Amino acid sequence: MAYGIEALVLVEVGLESYRTEVYNMETSSFGLRANVDLLEEEREAAHQRNMKYLLQAAQHYDSNIKKRSFGVGDLVLRELAASIPTKHGKLQPNWEGPYKMIEVFRPGTYKLEILTGEAIKNTWHASRLWKFYQ
Protein backbone atom coordinates (compact mmCIF):
# COMPACT_ATOMS: atom_id res chain seq x y z
CA MET A 1 0.00 0.00 0.00
CA ALA A 2 1.26 3.42 -0.92
CA TYR A 3 -0.78 6.25 0.63
CA GLY A 4 -4.02 4.25 0.44
CA ILE A 5 -3.44 3.10 -3.16
CA GLU A 6 -2.34 -0.38 -4.12
CA ALA A 7 1.00 -0.31 -5.87
CA LEU A 8 1.33 -1.95 -9.27
CA VAL A 9 4.11 -4.38 -9.99
CA LEU A 10 6.30 -3.21 -12.87
CA VAL A 11 5.15 -6.16 -14.98
CA GLU A 12 1.49 -5.07 -14.60
CA VAL A 13 2.25 -1.66 -16.10
CA GLY A 14 3.47 -3.06 -19.41
CA LEU A 15 1.09 -6.00 -19.71
CA GLU A 16 -2.68 -6.12 -19.64
CA SER A 17 -4.07 -7.42 -16.35
CA TYR A 18 -7.49 -7.46 -14.78
CA ARG A 19 -6.59 -4.62 -12.44
CA THR A 20 -5.39 -2.34 -15.22
CA GLU A 21 -8.42 -3.14 -17.43
CA VAL A 22 -11.08 -2.37 -14.78
CA TYR A 23 -9.30 0.68 -13.33
CA ASN A 24 -11.53 3.75 -13.38
CA MET A 25 -10.00 7.09 -12.44
CA GLU A 26 -13.29 8.62 -11.25
CA THR A 27 -14.25 5.82 -8.83
CA SER A 28 -10.68 5.61 -7.60
CA SER A 29 -10.49 9.33 -6.78
CA PHE A 30 -13.94 9.12 -5.12
CA GLY A 31 -12.69 6.28 -2.93
CA LEU A 32 -9.57 8.24 -1.99
CA ARG A 33 -11.66 11.29 -1.01
CA ALA A 34 -13.84 9.04 1.17
CA ASN A 35 -10.72 7.70 2.88
CA VAL A 36 -9.52 11.25 3.56
CA ASP A 37 -12.91 12.10 5.08
CA LEU A 38 -12.66 9.09 7.42
CA LEU A 39 -9.05 9.84 8.37
CA GLU A 40 -9.94 11.90 11.46
CA GLU A 41 -12.21 9.14 12.76
CA GLU A 42 -9.44 6.56 12.25
CA ARG A 43 -6.99 8.77 14.14
CA GLU A 44 -9.43 9.16 17.03
CA ALA A 45 -10.03 5.39 17.18
CA ALA A 46 -6.27 4.76 17.17
CA HIS A 47 -5.82 7.32 19.95
CA GLN A 48 -8.53 5.61 22.04
CA ARG A 49 -6.88 2.20 21.53
CA ASN A 50 -3.50 3.65 22.54
CA MET A 51 -4.93 5.22 25.72
CA LYS A 52 -6.63 1.91 26.64
CA TYR A 53 -3.34 0.05 26.11
CA LEU A 54 -1.39 2.55 28.26
CA LEU A 55 -3.96 2.26 31.06
CA GLN A 56 -3.77 -1.55 30.99
CA ALA A 57 0.04 -1.45 30.98
CA ALA A 58 0.06 0.94 33.96
CA GLN A 59 -2.39 -1.27 35.88
CA HIS A 60 -0.25 -4.34 35.19
CA TYR A 61 2.90 -2.53 36.32
CA ASP A 62 1.23 -1.14 39.44
CA SER A 63 -0.12 -4.57 40.41
CA ASN A 64 3.47 -5.75 40.98
CA ILE A 65 4.55 -2.69 42.98
CA LYS A 66 4.54 -2.93 46.75
CA LYS A 67 3.86 0.44 48.30
CA ARG A 68 6.27 1.41 51.07
CA SER A 69 5.43 4.08 53.57
CA PHE A 70 7.36 5.16 56.62
CA GLY A 71 6.61 7.43 59.53
CA VAL A 72 8.72 9.92 61.46
CA GLY A 73 10.97 8.05 63.88
CA ASP A 74 11.10 4.80 61.89
CA LEU A 75 14.47 3.17 61.33
CA VAL A 76 15.35 2.38 57.70
CA LEU A 77 18.19 1.05 55.59
CA ARG A 78 19.35 3.02 52.57
CA GLU A 79 20.28 1.45 49.23
CA LEU A 80 24.05 1.66 48.82
CA ALA A 81 24.00 1.85 45.00
CA ALA A 82 21.83 4.98 45.18
CA SER A 83 23.83 6.74 47.88
CA ILE A 84 27.39 5.95 46.73
CA PRO A 85 27.33 4.58 43.14
CA THR A 86 31.13 4.15 42.93
CA LYS A 87 31.23 2.03 46.09
CA HIS A 88 28.71 -0.46 44.74
CA GLY A 89 30.22 -3.77 43.64
CA LYS A 90 29.55 -7.46 43.42
CA LEU A 91 30.87 -8.24 46.88
CA GLN A 92 29.68 -5.03 48.55
CA PRO A 93 26.57 -4.98 50.78
CA ASN A 94 23.37 -3.76 49.12
CA TRP A 95 22.07 -1.71 52.07
CA GLU A 96 23.62 0.61 54.63
CA GLY A 97 22.32 2.06 57.83
CA PRO A 98 20.22 2.18 59.92
CA TYR A 99 18.99 5.73 59.55
CA LYS A 100 16.16 7.51 61.33
CA MET A 101 13.26 9.25 59.57
CA ILE A 102 13.04 12.88 60.64
CA GLU A 103 10.63 14.39 58.10
CA VAL A 104 8.10 13.38 55.43
CA PHE A 105 8.15 15.88 52.56
CA ARG A 106 5.34 14.21 50.65
CA PRO A 107 4.20 10.59 50.44
CA GLY A 108 7.18 8.57 49.27
CA THR A 109 9.86 11.24 49.88
CA TYR A 110 11.71 11.36 53.19
CA LYS A 111 14.47 13.18 55.03
CA LEU A 112 16.89 11.01 57.03
CA GLU A 113 19.42 11.44 59.80
CA ILE A 114 22.25 9.31 61.13
CA LEU A 115 21.52 7.79 64.54
CA THR A 116 24.01 10.26 66.09
CA GLY A 117 21.65 13.10 65.14
CA GLU A 118 23.41 14.47 62.04
CA ALA A 119 20.90 15.13 59.23
CA ILE A 120 21.60 13.90 55.68
CA LYS A 121 21.23 16.74 53.20
CA ASN A 122 19.42 14.81 50.42
CA THR A 123 15.87 13.51 50.42
CA TRP A 124 15.24 9.85 49.70
CA HIS A 125 12.48 8.08 47.82
CA ALA A 126 10.72 5.10 49.41
CA SER A 127 11.87 2.80 46.59
CA ARG A 128 15.48 3.31 47.78
CA LEU A 129 14.69 2.63 51.44
CA TRP A 130 13.92 -0.54 53.39
CA LYS A 131 12.38 -0.93 56.84
CA PHE A 132 14.96 -1.83 59.50
CA TYR A 133 13.87 -4.41 62.06
CA GLN A 134 15.82 -4.71 65.31
* DSSP result, 9-41: PHHHHHS--HHHHS--HHHHHHHHHHHHHHHHH
In CATH terms, is domain 75-131 a member of 2.60.40.2470?
A: no
Question: Of 3-12, 20-29, 31-40, 65-74, where does mean pLDDT reach its minimum?
Answer: 3-12
Compare 43 and 22 and report the one with higher pLDDT.
Answer: 43
**Average pLDDT over every residue of 87-115:** 87
Which pTM was predicted?
0.52
**pLDDT score recorded for residue 49:** 97
* DSSP result, 46-65: HHHHHHHHHHHHHHHHHHTP
Mean pLDDT of the chain: 82
Answer yes or no: is pLDDT of 88 > 60: yes
pLDDT tens by residue, 41-83: 888 999 999 999 999 999 998 888 777 888 899 999 998 888 7
